[in-house]
Amino acid sequence: MTAIDGSEVIAESLERLGVKVVFGIVGIPVVEVADALISKGIKFIGFRNEQAASYAASVYGYLTQQPGVLLVVGGPGLVHALAGIYNSESNKWPLLVLAGSSSSSEVYRGGFQELDQVSLMTSTFSKFSARPPSISRVPELITKAFRLSISGKPGPTYIDLPADIIQSKIDSSDGLQYLESVIPYAIEDVPKSVASLPKLKQAVKLIKSAQYPLLVVGKGAANCPRAVRDFVAQHMVPFLPTPMGKGVVPDSSEFNVSSARSDALRHADVIILAGARLNWMLHHGDFPKFKKDVKFIQIDSDSDEIGDNSNDSLKYGLFGDIGLTIESLNIRLGKGHLVNSMLPVIEEAKLKNIKKLELKGSVTPEQSESLMNHNQAITIITNSLGLNYDDTIFVSEGANTMDISRVVIPIDYPKQRLDAGTNATMGVGLGYAIAAKVANPEKLVMAIEGDSAFGFSALEIETAIRSDLPLFIIVLNNSGVYRGVDDVEKYAPFTDKPLPSTALSYKTRYDELGNSLGAVGMLVTNANELKVKMKESLDLYLNDKKTIVLNVLIQSGAGTKLQFGWQNKPKSKL
């Protein structure tokens, strides 16, 4: 009989579940687990910070529809990783978390990095948390956690790995017996449901009675683009994507009303929410952003979301798989049902706002040697991609950088754009980019980062290079959070006046940081340089597989009003 240790049982369990990559950081006692994974041919990507690793694992689950797997040490390692676990839970992305923990004999005695991790995960964000009582139970519990992370409402699950479980040995036939009988069935498609017939009939009746219906497409619909596209095309219904719902239906569609967002929301009398929530991104469905008597039809695979912030969305809510439910709506509406043509006021607003956007992004000859604004830089970057555009995945973060790139960069494919998501989480950038490159190795992965956001995960450049995952990183550097300062000599140490809280070091050389970590760093100070260096760096990225760091100095934004475009004004004084 062959004896194997717990680390091999863990690795074998993940291999038979079809896991191809694990993200994390090793330390005692999980080093053996990572090495066992590598020996099985599973790629282990070791990060420099557990937050970045957890963000990568969370978005990998979104990109692949299979659980991202995260491996970290216990105690502070798991606590650091809570950022990405929370991110996974709030975005409803499947994630399996594995963390080392104190040996069973040391529990309640102040063991190494001791923390009641099962209770922590159970009480916070996890759908399922367990600590295997023996090596023989490890395959069963890992399989259950894997399955539960993708069933029903996707989200994080957790398996605690005590040091003694990892290091103890067991007869191979006993340790792997469960794998032989159960795992082949654990990874089949999870069951899907469709909304009930009475609810579907009620929704169809409401849609047919609408004068100006609007479809809002959320990232929850990213896995069923064909159904959503067919619905828009067959019924000629105007649609509005949420930031990460972009591309489910191409931005280039004539029915896209993104450039007249406020007018479209304000005039719609029936709004169909497809995988979107009435949260802060949609102003909670409140007047005056919406009509007072607007009706919501909410399609969601999470029953808890239906009815949130709107009684109408509860009354007309359609609980079920988003793709199957939209297909059923499509059939019941019939091919002959076309919505009314778009309101003239929306058409006018679209044309007006498109022209305003083009003007903001244009560069006059007089401006070509000066610092650019966000719009000008992002427009040049987008135009430089040419034939590579459709094969590019964009990651964007940083308040201004993310919001402006969302408007400037057209997206025609689902999951082509990744951003801060439901939590507006800063720090996701390079973790997301690394995961996107793992999931789509043939694509160009471009991370467009504000300089503040870039600072959260900049050292993960080394992770990408070490892991042979070339990234194209562009830092839009205005020397500040939201905004910098134009004249640093007005502040300390030149005067007694302290820098404002939003200021960062002036014109930091992030390109030199990139060079020091093995990337190709370039400094850009104006529009002419950006055009030239985009071409040079694209050649290096595509032909030589180099990681690129373009440090693009832009206008500071000093003197502009600090505001958050998504935030509702308070209705009354507190």
Closest CA to 216 of 238, 194, 247: 238
What's the chain's average pLDDT? Answer: 88
DSSP class per residue in 175-209:
HHHHHHHHHHHHTSPPP-----HHHHHHHHHHHHH
Residue 365: asked if its preceding bond is cis (omega within 30°), the reply is no
Q: What is the pLDDT of residue 335?
A: 75
Phi and psi torsions of 414, nearest 5°: -65, 145
pLDDT category at 567 given cuts 50, 70, 90 is low
DSSP state of 499: P
Look at residue 309 in the predicted model and tell me its pLDDT: 66
Percent of the chain having pLDDT more than 70?
Answer: 91
The pLDDT tens digits for 202-214 are 999 999 999 899 9
What pLDDT sits at residue 151? Answer: 87
pLDDT value, residue 17: 92
Write the pLDDT tens digit of every residue in 177-229: 666 655 544 555 667 888 889 999 999 999 999 989 999 999 999 999 999 99
- In 40-98, alpha helices (H): 50-64, 76-91
Residues 260-283 pLDDT 10s:
888 889 989 999 999 898 887 788
pLDDT at residue 573 in the model: 43
Strands (E), 102-229: 128-130, 156-162, 169-171, 213-217
d(CA 145, CA 364): 57
Q: Which residue has the higher pLDDT, 114 or 87?
A: 87
pTM attached to this predicted model: 0.92
pLDDT tens digits for 359-370? Answer: 999 998 989 899
- State how far the Cα of 419 lies from the Cα of 63, in Å rounded to an integer: 13
d(CA 533, CA 564): 32
Check whether 572 has a pLDDT greater than 50.
no
Cis peptide before 288 (omega within 30 of 0): yes
Residues 96-105 have a mean pLDDT of 85
Q: Which tens digit of pLDDT belongs to each residue from 440-462?
A: 999 999 999 999 999 999 999 99
